[in-house]
Amino acid sequence: MSERAGPEARILERGYRRFEGVRQGRGHAMRSLMAHTLRRILGLRRPARAKVLPLMSIVFAYLPATVFLGVVALFGRFGGRAQARQLVPDYADYYGFIVSAIVLFVAFAAPEALCPDRRSGVLSLYLASPLTRMTYLAAKAASVAIVIGAVTVGPLLLLLAGLTLQGVGPDGPIEVMKVLGRIVAAGVALAAVFTAISMAVASLTDRRALASAGIIFLLLGSGVVGGILVAGLGAPAEAFVVNVVRSSLEVVARIYGESDTRFAAVDTAVVAAGTAAWALTGAAVAVLRYRRLQVTR
């Protein structure tokens, strides 16, 4: 049935052996998970269809800044650069041009980061590594925040750099640094709120399409509820903080020292508290969901 073993044949029974390689710890595991999640969200090393939606969202977010800079450069060739600067919106107003791209990206990023791991059962393998439920969730949240930050911070940085290079930006290095600080603060605030809310919704289902629809419904539905409360039922203007998108953009406006005239009487502390409540609620939902999630190792 089998050939006779040659004189060189040996039977090696090594049994169980401990891993003797380098153990790089929980920090390395989190960084590896973040890198993998970033690649997945952006569609890197995946089929072309996985790259379409993130690429479209990024293009739509950066396109207005590119157009505005092109207008300033074109008018500058004919001596009308200062006049062209009047056509460029203020930094706080720029978000009005890209809010749709931000919502689209938010509705895509978190479901892509969280849902496939639970649906495919890979989550149990991650938790068999040095990762815990909370460090896993923290790595995922950091990845989602980074990619959302690419459309909340990046376009404004491009606009600032372009206007400064063309001589129509803030006056002097100190003013440039002030605007830069406001851009980063506003973009990070938006990214934090949208990351927390989208992670909360995505933690409730393992279906990406359902999670994306839920995120869009929550963001748009909160606007409808806020409008009904303030305009329809005559609730105090403070009730507009129910609107996630509107209250988040109002926080951005306050960072730049501006405000929507409809809510100018609302105290900044109320606006900040309402937006922070949305972020903390979203984070709490995601944390509680993953703490109670049944995972078979």
Tokens, residue 36: 């993998």
CB-based contact 111:208 (threshold 8 Å): yes
The CA distance from 233 to 207, in Å, is 36
Q: At 29, phi and psi to the nearest 5?
A: -65, -40
205 burial class (0-12, 13-18, 19+ CB within 10 angstroms)? middle
What mean pLDDT is reported for the chain? 86
Rounded to whole angstroms, the Cα distance separating 2 from 134 reads: 54
> Tens digit of pLDDT for each residue in 81-140?
667 677 788 888 899 899 999 999 999 999 999 999 888 888 888 888 788 899 999 999
**259 CB-contact burial (10 Å; exposed 0-12 / middle 13-18 / buried 19+):** middle
5 in any annotated domain: no
User: Do the domain assignments include residue 19?
Assistant: no
**150 closest CA partner among 55, 68, 66:** 55
**If pLDDT is split at 50, 70 and 90, which confidence band does 10 have?**
low
Q: Which residue has the tokens 């809310």?
A: 197
Range of the domain at 171: 25-292
Cβ atoms 131, 36 nearer than 8 A: no
Q: What is the pLDDT of residues 30-59, one digit of tens each?
A: 899 999 999 999 988 888 888 888 889 899
Is residue 141 a part of any domain in this protein?
yes
Give the model's pLDDT for residue 202. 94
How do residues 216-233 score in pLDDT, each as one tens digit? 999 999 989 988 888 888
Q: Which helix (H) or strand (E) holds 167?
A: none
Give dist(CA 250, CA 269) in Å, integer: 12
Q: What is the DSSP letter of 78?
A: T
Determine the Cα–Cα distance for residues 204 and 114; give it in Å rounded to an integer. Answer: 10
For residues 20 and 197, the model is more confident at 197
Q: Taking the CA atoms of the chain, what radius of gyration do you get in angstroms?
A: 25
Residue 226 lies inside a defined structural domain of this protein:
yes
pTM of the model: 0.86
- Has residue 4 been placed in a domain? no
* pLDDT at residue 257, rounded to an integer: 87
Percent of the chain exceeding pLDDT 70 equals: 89
Confidence check: pLDDT of 1 > 50: no
Helices in the chain by DSSP H: which ranges? Answer: 25-42, 49-76, 81-85, 91-120, 122-127, 133-152, 154-165, 172-202, 208-227, 244-255, 268-292
CA-to-CA distance for 123 and 114, rounded, in angstroms?
9
Residue 12 located in a structural domain: no
Per-residue exposure over 101-131, b if at least 16 CB sit within 10 Å of its own CB, e if not? bbbbbbbbbbbbbbbebbeeeebeebbeeeb
- Is residue 58 in a domain? yes
Least confident residue range of 64-68, 163-167, 174-178 = 163-167
Distance (Å, rounded) from C-alpha 68 to C-alpha 7?
Answer: 80
What is the number of structural domains in the chain?
1
**Do 271 and 263 form a contact (C-beta atoms < 8 A)?**
yes
Beta carbons within 10 angstroms of residue 261's beta carbon: 7
% of the chain at pLDDT higher than 90: 49
Which pLDDT does position 38 carry in this prediction?
Answer: 92
Tell me if 174 is assigned to some domain.
Answer: yes
For 149, the token pair is: 């930050």
Q: Computed from CA positions of residues 149, 155, 160, 165, in that sequence, does the dihedral angle turn out positive or negative? A: positive
What are the pLDDT digits (tens) for 63-91?
999 998 888 888 777 666 667 677 788 88
- Residue range 8-12: mean pLDDT, rounded: 66
